[in-house]
Structure 1
Amino acid sequence: MIVSINENWTNAETEHTDHLKKIIRNFLYSQLSICGPKTPAYYFVRETRKLIISHKLTDISSSITILGAHTKRLGRQKTRLLKELKKVFNYDRFISKYGTWNAYTLCKKSKARICPYCNHAYAFTIECKDGAFRPTLDHFFLKDQYPHLALTLYNLVPSCSSCNSSLKGEEDFHQTPHLNPLFDNESITFQLFSTVNPSGLLDDISLNLQNVKLAATAPLNCVKSQNSLKTFIINERYEVLLMEAIDFFVAKTDYEEAKINTQLELQFSEASLLRFDRTKYNRYLLGKMFADLYDAF
């Protein structure tokens, strides 16, 4: 994760919670007509229903712990439980545009425009009579391993297909902690530098471009950050974007010099020259990288 989107779903909370409550309520009621012991999913959902609809990471994590206890107790029967939960929290139905509340109506409520994992691919929704597309919804905690969280709002991260499918794949973020865009603060930062002369970056940009590097770094003691850098191959991806970083750095440098030269009496704003507003960095592709380079001044 590069950019935090911890307020992303605030406009969708009420409708999605009502949708999920209805699914749970209908399932539990359907089990009441069964004489004798109910299905394994019934006992699990009854115990965790408040956790499943929660907007708190601690509650979501607690539901995973409870699932582990149920599957351990069931032994070989655990496969039945997981299949039942997948049927109850039917993600395939949710993404099929069925009903008034589905993946498209949810994604339209998303505030994010950019994939928070990489910050260099768009993740917005368009739906019109001529066609439609939306971001992929990454299940931060895998829906195949934790099927009760398949529709949990704060387990759905609007992201690009490269991050969701090509890179994350089946990585279990519960077992291997990663930065969670919906809950964690930003901790990955970008730096443009000269490998030969730290104080001669501008000279190397002009004369020795091979000496100029862009690096994404994170606190060494933060396992989540280090895992995120590795899983989403952030440095490898941003290495290809070196020229974008250099162009921004040069534009910012030119602006600072023009601002000092009062004789020019230039009439333009920093945002118009840079095509970047620092206060709204999370609205731009590569916005976090630009913000870090901006702050370096």
Structure 2
Amino acid sequence: MILSVVRNWIDAEAEHKLYLSNIIKKFILTIESACGPQRAGRMECYYFVKDVEKLVLSHELKDILLSIDVFKEYKRKAGVISDMFVKEVERVFNYKRFTVKGPKWNAYALCWKSKARICPYCNHAYAFTVQSESGDFRPTLDHFFFKDEYPHLALTLYNLVPSCSSCNSSLKGEVDFFKEKHLNPLFDVENIEFYLSAGGAPSELDEAIQNRRIDVLVKAKAVKECSQSENSLKTFAINERYETLSMEAVDFYLAKKNYDEAALNTQFSFKFDETALLRFDRANYSRYLLGKMYADIYDALSR
């Protein structure tokens, strides 16, 4: 995770809660009004859904984590019919149905209300939604806690991270973020910092950048050491990906340094507009592709 998008879904909370609560209520009513025997695993699913209803509707991480513990315990107690129990849970929290376009609440309507423009996992791919006469497209919704492993969270709002397909499918895949902790864009603060490095001594860095030496690379590290940050750097191949973006980092470094020098030159009688010249607003870095990298370079030059 590069960007924090805490409360990303604040504008969608009411509508999504109504959508999900109606699904749960319909399932519970169906079971309670049914006559005769039920499919194996269905009654276990019924009791489970009643137990976790408030948890899966919650916007709190502690409740989401608690629901996973409850699910694992139900699955354990189901024994030989555990697979059937899981299938019933998947039927209730049907994510595929949610992704179908239509006039009602669905993944497209949800993504339209997302506040994130950029994939928070990598910060170098867009994650916005477009609706047009030619067609619609939206970001992929990553299930932070893998829906195939925890199917009851398939529709939980704060388990859905708007992301790019490279991060969601190519890199994350089926990594279990419950067992292997990672930074969560929807709950955690930012803890990844970018910096420029060259092969020589640190004192030679500015000269290396000025001369655009090929050994100048952009790197990422955790501000505060923690396993979540290290796992995020590794899973999303942040250092490997950003090394290929060293040219953009060097260009920004030089632009910012040239601007600072020009702004200090008293021979100029006109006022410089930093945002216009750099094409970057430090205060709104999260709105830009590579914005976190640019912000960290900006801050390093401003010290």
Cα deviation for residue 145 of structure 1 reads: 0.8
The one-letter code of the counterpart of 2:296 is: D
Distance in 2 (alpha carbons) for counterparts of 1:34 and 1:105: 33
What residue is the counterpart of 1:33 in the other structure? 33
One-letter identity of the residue aligned with 2:276: S
Distance in 2, matches of 1:77 and 1:161, equals 35
Q: Could you tell me how far apart the structure 2 residues matched to 1:19 and 1:206 are?
A: 56
Distance 2:223 2:252 in 1: 25
Q: Is the 8 A contact 1:219 1:226 kept in 2?
A: no
Q: What CA distance in whole angstroms lies between the structure 2 residues aligned with 1:188 and 1:91?
A: 31
- The 5 A counterparts of 1:1-297 are 1-34=1-34, 39-207=43-211, 209-219=213-223, 221-297=225-301
Instruction: Write the distance in 1 (CA, Å) between the matches of 2:246 and 2:97.
Output: 42
Q: 1:27 to 1:98 in 2, by over 3 A?
A: farther
Kindly tell me the number of residue pairs found equivalent between the two proteins.
Answer: 297
Is the CA contact 2:5–2:116 (under 8 Å) kept in the aligned structure 1?
yes
- 3-state DSSP class of the match of 1:217? strand
Separation of aligned partners in 1, 2:286 and 2:188: 15
Q: Distance in 2 between matches of 1:233 and 1:272?
A: 32
CA separation of 1:104 and 1:61: change in aligned 2, threshold 3 A = same
Deviates more, 1:37-46 or 1:50-59: 37-46
Mean CA deviation greater in 252-261 or 188-197: 188-197
- TM-score using structure 2 length: 0.95
Change (3 A) 1:10 1:208: closer
Structure 1 CA distance, aligned partners of 2:146 and 2:235?
15
Partner-residue secondary structure (3-state), 1:199: helix
CA distance in structure 2 between the aligned counterparts of 1:151 and 1:31, rounded to whole angstroms = 20
Structure 2, gaps ≥5 residues long: none
State the Cα deviation string for residues 132-176 of structure 1 (Å, max 9, x = none). 100000000011111110000000000000000000000000010
CA distance, structure 1, for counterparts of residue 102 and residue 81 of structure 2: 31
Mapped to 2, the partners of 1:279 and 1:7 lie a distance apart of: 19
Gaps of 5+ in 1: none
Report the residue type matching 2:278 in the other structure: L
After superposition, the Cα gap between the structure-2 partners of 1:46 and 1:174, relative to the gap in structure 1 and judged at 3 Å, is same
Letter in 1 for 2:141: L
Q: Is the 8 A contact 1:220 1:226 kept in 2?
A: no
In 2, the alpha carbon distance for the partners of 1:173 and 1:273 equals 41
Q: TM-score, normalised by structure 1?
A: 0.97
Contact 1:177 1:224 in 2 (8 A): yes
CA contact (8 A) 1:178 1:228 kept: yes
Among the aligned pairs, what percent are the same residue? 56
Query: Which residue identity is paired with 2:144?
Result: F
